[in-house]
Homo-oligomer: A and B are copies of this chain.
Amino acid sequence: MQYDMKLTLSEVHSLAKRLLLAQGFNERHANAIANTVTAAERDECRHHGLFRIPFYVNAFRAGQASGDAEPTVTKLAPSIIKVDAHHGFSPLALEVADLPLAELAKETGIAAVAINNALSVSALWPEVERLAEKGLVGFAFVAASPYVAPAGGTKPLYGTNPMAFSWPREGHEPLVFDQASSASARGEIQVRLRDGRQLEEGWAVGPDGKPTLDPATALAGAQLPFGGVKGAAIAMMVELLAGPLVGDLLSFEAGEKDVANTGAPCGGELIIAIDPVRCIENGNRAAQLAHGEMLFSKILEQEGTRLPSDRRYQARKRTAVEGVSVPKVLYEQLQEFSTGEFSGKRFAYEGDDLIKGTAEQKG
């Protein structure tokens, strides 16, 4: 694997935006997706960086994603907002939702946004990190294509169903985690397939329902939730929150609707924001944040520990100076998208060369 292209973050953004515009995305969508892709490259979460451009393009080309739908905001209740993405990709809907949600949480103490009809192929940490930067606690839940078996079962039903959480810090980037409810990322199984490496125990079962360490068998079977029954309960919760709660699709329904098999399912997302200072009586925000810091200090004073988002923030410092490395094979494939001319070649999202150069997402 060669990381032989060096790009600055600004070059990543320009490249992503240029390709998306050339494909027909409008300015606002191209910009929002480029922001998301750049943030992922910046934090070295390459699964969600330039590697994702073909996912956006494929779904657009297949007619499943709108490139110009403007998200609409509706207030459903005093503390609930709905943002309908109208079958556009989620980054713009999430940018549109951000400020109204934050303002509402500050007004009422706790608020939620139901995102509907959004194609989601990005990580969740950007939306919760944004909330924490405004001093809020954030939660996000999204369901996706059916890959993961329920507790005790062996057939795919849940998405990898990530949930993200953020906590604001004073003078430090927010505490953030963003984790799939599956034992492993699907991309990690794809990477091991490519590299001819076995899986870890507990990651997957084959189509026969038996545990497997073979990546191809796993991809044809079902992934397993992390942490057994408890992780499966989290996966089920996420499925309910991002689906029926917000009036959107369950993972298996989203999978059925992705008729072109673009790997860019359309569905819902629930984001909750809490203003911590509204949860205490004395209104002492500084003391409240210092209390959180006390926990983080206690964690970090133990050898071998780190906070969930630390690796991302370290990468962020590094890439601001050094730029990012992009695999040459990916860079060249992306040139396919630099004009409106479409070669007709469809970029598969599984087991493809594009997986080259991806790294496990860093929460």
Q: A57 at interface (Cβ–Cβ under 8 A)?
A: no
- Asked whether A167 lies within 8 Å of B281 as measured between CB atoms, the reply is no
- Asked whether A154 lies within 8 Å of B302 as measured between CB atoms, the reply is yes
In Å, the complex CA distance between A162 and B105 comes to 25
Of the listed stretches A58-66, A108-116, A187-195, A328-336, name the one at the interface; the rest are far from the partner chain.
A108-116
Interface residues of A in 255-282 (CB under 8 A from B): 270, 272, 274-276, 278-282
Question: A281 — which chain B residues lie within 8 A by C-beta?
Answer: 74, 76, 82, 247
Of the listed stretches A20-28, A86-94, A227-235, A337-345, name the one at the interface; the rest are far from the partner chain.
A227-235
Interface string of A282-320 (1 = CB under 8 A from B): 100000110110110011001111101000000000000
- Asked whether B244 lies within 8 Å of A288 as measured between CB atoms, the reply is yes
Partner of A79, one of B78, B82, B303: B78
- Asked whether B233 lies within 8 Å of A299 as measured between CB atoms, the reply is no
Question: A241 — which chain B residues lie within 8 A by C-beta?
Answer: 137
Q: A199 at interface (Cβ–Cβ under 8 A)?
A: no
In Å, the complex CA distance between A233 and B149 comes to 22
Interface residues of A in 93-110 (CB under 8 A from B): 107-110
Q: A237 at interface (Cβ–Cβ under 8 A)?
A: yes
Question: A114 — which chain B residues lie within 8 A by C-beta?
Answer: 279-280
A274-B108 contact, Cβ under 8 Å, with A155-B302, A245-B137, A281-B74: no
Q: A157 at interface (Cβ–Cβ under 8 A)?
A: yes
- Asked whether A112 lies within 8 Å of B110 as measured between CB atoms, the reply is yes
Q: A44 at interface (Cβ–Cβ under 8 A)?
A: no
- Asked whether B305 lies within 8 Å of A240 as measured between CB atoms, the reply is no
- Asked whether B302 lies within 8 Å of A109 as measured between CB atoms, the reply is no
- Give min CB distance, A80 to chain B, whole Å: 4
Q: How many copies does the complex hold?
A: 2
Main SS of the interface on chain A? mixed
Interface string of A134-167 (1 = CB under 8 A from B): 0001000000000001111111010000000101
A240-B292 contact, Cβ under 8 Å, with A149-B302, A226-B230, A227-B226: yes
- Asked whether A272 lies within 8 Å of B137 as measured between CB atoms, the reply is no
Question: A347 — which chain B residues lie within 8 A by C-beta?
Answer: none
Partner of A295, one of B74, B111, B233, B244: B244
| Subset of 27 A-B contacts with CB under 8 Å | A76-B281, A78-B78, A78-B107, A79-B110, A108-B108, A110-B112, A110-B272, A150-B305, A151-B306, A152-B304, A154-B302, A154-B303, A175-B240, A177-B233, A226-B228, A234-B234, A236-B308, A244-B291, A244-B292, A244-B295, A245-B274, A245-B276, A247-B279, A247-B282, A247-B288, A250-B298, A252-B298
Please list the residues of chain A having a beta carbon within 8 angstroms of any beta carbon in chain B: 74, 76-80, 82, 107-112, 114, 137, 149-155, 157, 165, 167, 175, 177, 179, 226-231, 233-234, 236-237, 239-241, 243-247, 250, 252, 270, 272, 274-276, 278-282, 288-289, 291-292, 294-295, 298-299, 302-306, 308, 363
